[in-house]
Structure 1
Amino acid sequence: MDDRKVAVVTGGMGGLGDAICTRLFRSGYRVVATYSPRNQSADEWVDVHRKEGIEVAAYKVDVSDYASCDAGVRQIVSDTGRIDILVNNAGITKDATLKKMTLEDWQTVLRTNLDSVFNMTRPVLHGMLESQWGRIINISSVNGQKGAFGQVNYSAAKAGVHGFTKALALEVASKGITVNTVSPGYLRTKMVMKVPQDILESKILPEIPVGRLGEPDEVAGLVAYLCSDEAAFVTGANIAINGGQHMH
């Protein structure tokens, strides 16, 4: 019988999600990645990782839809027997100034980046409460802490994520479950590398005191620590990992 703890990472096929999945597998967990119904490349992604010796199961879940999350969680628990760790990592951007932002741009980002945290956490929480152990890690953003031009929707959603973290941390602190937020700055991911090079060099990098983008593996290392038994006294925290771009 496989008694390793089971970690579920939403948006597990993105740049940061991929790094988190890999790090958690290497840290001794059974790892499950959820991916968007719009992403059809799960089999290839799983095969590539398997060839590298990394076993990650993939489940198609629409994190913006509660019924899809509930069904996905049931299926994962049916297949693995448990969920001990949840990393709410899925997120998207639809940038525009508020003057130009459509209602759909607002609703889509809020549903994917904030509603998703409720949609996944609520069905997972029952099992954690039963076993009296759990780790919930919500991935926010430096832009949820300091705001960002053209990201009213994204900044609002990511700020909301930490409000969720603090309230839930209070509710489950006596049950052996910790709930924390990780707020990365600009990382070397596909999403950030889509930013035009001149904007990156003239606007973004000068704001980062360490003078470079963060590596997804650096954030994954922090997530792995928060999953561990050593981090049992850390709960309700928002840990910034942004190269000094924003301090508070």
Structure 2
Amino acid sequence: MSVESAALVYFSPTGTTKAVLSKIGEGLASKLHHIDITTEDRENIVVDDSLAIIGIPVYAGRIPPVAVQRLKRLSGTCPCVCVAVYGNREVDDALLELKNLVTERGFKMIAAGSFIGQHSFNTAERPLADGRPDSSDDALAVNFGEGIAAKLARNDLSEPAVPGNFPYKPNGPSLGGAPVTVADSCDLCGECEASCPTHAIKITDGVVVTQPDECIGCFACVQACPTDARVFPATERLEKVRQWLFDTCKARKEPVTYI
């Protein structure tokens, strides 16, 4: 079968998963249709393209619960590719979780991949997959897309095995806080509010108000702020996690694909 059009479906608060899927799409040499579910509130999203490439970030080895909620609004019957993007620690159960979830929504997984993106906790002092995906990752993603197109051209709809365990590992604990706004640096542009996948940020009467209980720690607002006014307070837990990741996840990991 030929891929006349492909839907790129992604939950991508900081844009990394979107970037990976876009490169995979380049390799398909098909018309691409973006479905961004990061802040999407529609109840029903029907995917009627020839192929769906569905991507999520990995949070502590799982799909973020809010992304699970959004993915459950999808429906389709076309072949799909599952992509998990993680911050150089482990993909753990996320890829299997994604495969099972989209299968329940009617899709047929014919390929999958785990890719590496800059970790949300990355800092200059403790870099975590800094600058990734890089040019090497991009080339591998394009090649993956080409491999998917070649498989479909052979009318091969076989389902590859993916790593992971069921029951899945528990979701990671909360960081116990949320980014705050440095008022003197804030110009009330609204970028933080627009970027938040859980709508935890509201600008009310000239004040940026954040609901900590709704924050998933994606750091989208921190990256989106043009004046660096959004910062995550250096809590004891956050600093311990950052140091542990820096100490144990330095060795570069490479994308793995399953076709």
TM-score by length of 1: 0.46
TM-score by length of 2: 0.44
Which entry has the higher C-alpha Rg, 1 or 2?
Answer: 2
Give the structure with the larger strand fraction: 2
Give the structure with the larger helix fraction: 1
